[in-house]
Amino acid sequence: MTDSIDEAVRRHELALHELSVGRLSQALEACVDAVAKLEQASGHESLDVAVALNTLGRIREGLSEYSAAESDFERAWMIVAGSDSDDESMVTLRARTLGDRARLRRIQGRLPEAEHCYLQAMEMLRDGSLDLDILRNELAVVYKYAARFDEAEALYRQSLESVEAGLGPAHPEAATIWHNLGGLEHARGRYAEGEVYARRSVSIREAAMGADHPAVAADVAALAALVHEQGRLDEAETLYRRAVAIFETAREQNAYELAVNYNNLGALHYAREQWCEAEGYYMRALGLKEGLFGPDHPDIAMTLHNLAVLNADRGRNDEARVLYQRALAIFEDRLGPEHPKTRTCRRELTELGRGPEGWASSTSSSVHP
């Protein structure tokens, strides 16, 4: 029995290593094997199984297998929630498991559920722990998407102060928070301020991970979006294409990032009035997003909105109306009737109904931060 457990532990450690270096297919194979061996050796409800299930969920999340990841995280939660232990390691495991469940819900666009899980997890942890800083940062992302910008900034600043004090200002976790602060300023429309933060995240992460790491590509893409919004389209395109080239080396695990950048390249070509190129990129983004999330995710509504704007500008009002209506239904359901994206979409649909003379000249395509 001891030999079986030792082999399961080795397989789990291998899975963690493969996950850390981005070899997700190899990580998946090792982790599935580790879970099976642990279940056989320790039983289906052991805490070792819960730890391995959390790892398996993160691997599947990285592969965009969100339904399978959710099942893994839910199984892990059922195990740790049922434990009678309240020692520090057990409390930390519960909080991390809740954080995994919360993150997946945020990715799926289930923002109220994500907030609930994050708050529940944060209540379990003491101030000064890295786990708490990570949860604060991730909850702030939820608040940004919900347009609760001041709450998001307060959490980001709190996390950044703690991370820089504990890990140093050049740590990749600090880069993550600078990246997110840039995204927040993008959402607020304060693009020049956001650019400063985004450049800082790129600089820190490049120094820590190298120029071709996918996390650096995500930082570069966020910087591109901020440069784009300031009208520096050639510079933005160079940055977008740098990010896409990195993401396309591992398309399966970077499908969402590719969808974001295809959407943004579509918006860039729209700004240049290159309609065919814009539509092509939007359709590529839409296809990837629908494959990842199904038909009713807020990110899908963003690209549907962009296609509606494009069709309206080309005089294809019937097609535009259908796209606006579909986007508006998703925004209202997922973000609420008063969210800025919902209000913008509703206004533009109303203006479209008034004919060409009512179409707003301020209408533009949405860029992902």
Same domain, 329 and 368: yes
Judged against a pLDDT cut of 90, whether residue 236 lies above it is answered with yes
Domain count, the chain: 2
The pLDDT tens digits for 97-155 are 999 999 999 999 999 999 999 999 999 998 888 999 999 999 999 999 999 999 999 99
More confident residue, 2 or 264: 264
Q: Which of 250, 271, 301 is the endpoint of a domain?
A: 250
Give the whole-angstrom CA distance, residue 204 versus residue 256: 23
Q: What percent of the chain has pLDDT above 70? A: 95
**What pLDDT score was predicted for residue 4?**
82
Residue 275 domain-assigned (yes or no): yes
Q: What is the mean pLDDT of residues 250-271?
A: 94
Average the pLDDT over each of 84-93, 176-185, 349-358 and give the range with the smallest value.
349-358
Same domain, 267 and 308: yes
Q: Copy the structure tokens of residue 315.
A: 């005089």
Report pTM.
0.90
**What pLDDT score was predicted for residue 362?**
44
pLDDT confidence band for 360 (50 / 70 / 90): very low
Give the whole-angstrom CA distance, residue 29 versus residue 255: 20
Same domain, 231 and 261: no
**What pLDDT score was predicted for residue 355?**
56
For residue 360, the 8-state DSSP code is -
Domain that holds residue 280: 255-369
Q: Which of 250, 281, 296 is the endpoint of a domain?
A: 250
Average pLDDT of the chain, as a whole number: 93
Give the whole-angstrom CA distance, residue 186 versus residue 230: 11
**What pLDDT score was predicted for residue 140?**
98
Burial of residue 276 (number of CB atoms within 10 Å: 0-12, 13-18, 19+): exposed
Judged against a pLDDT cut of 50, whether residue 213 lies above it is answered with yes
The pLDDT tens digits for 68-78 are 999 999 999 99
10 Å Cβ neighbour count for 209? 15
Smallest CA-to-CA distance from 188 within 156, 163, 210, 164 is with 156
Same domain, 286 and 326: yes
Residue 151 domain-assigned (yes or no): no
Q: What is the mean pLDDT of residues 325-348?
A: 96
Could you tell me the CATH number of the domain that includes residue 320? 1.25.40.10
Same domain, 238 and 215: yes
Residue 21 domain-assigned (yes or no): no
Residue 131 domain-assigned (yes or no): no
Q: What percent of the chain has pLDDT above 90? A: 86
On the CB side of 53, how many CA atoms lie within 13 Å of its CA? Answer: 26
Residue 6 domain-assigned (yes or no): no
Same domain, 259 and 336: yes
Residue 49 domain-assigned (yes or no): no
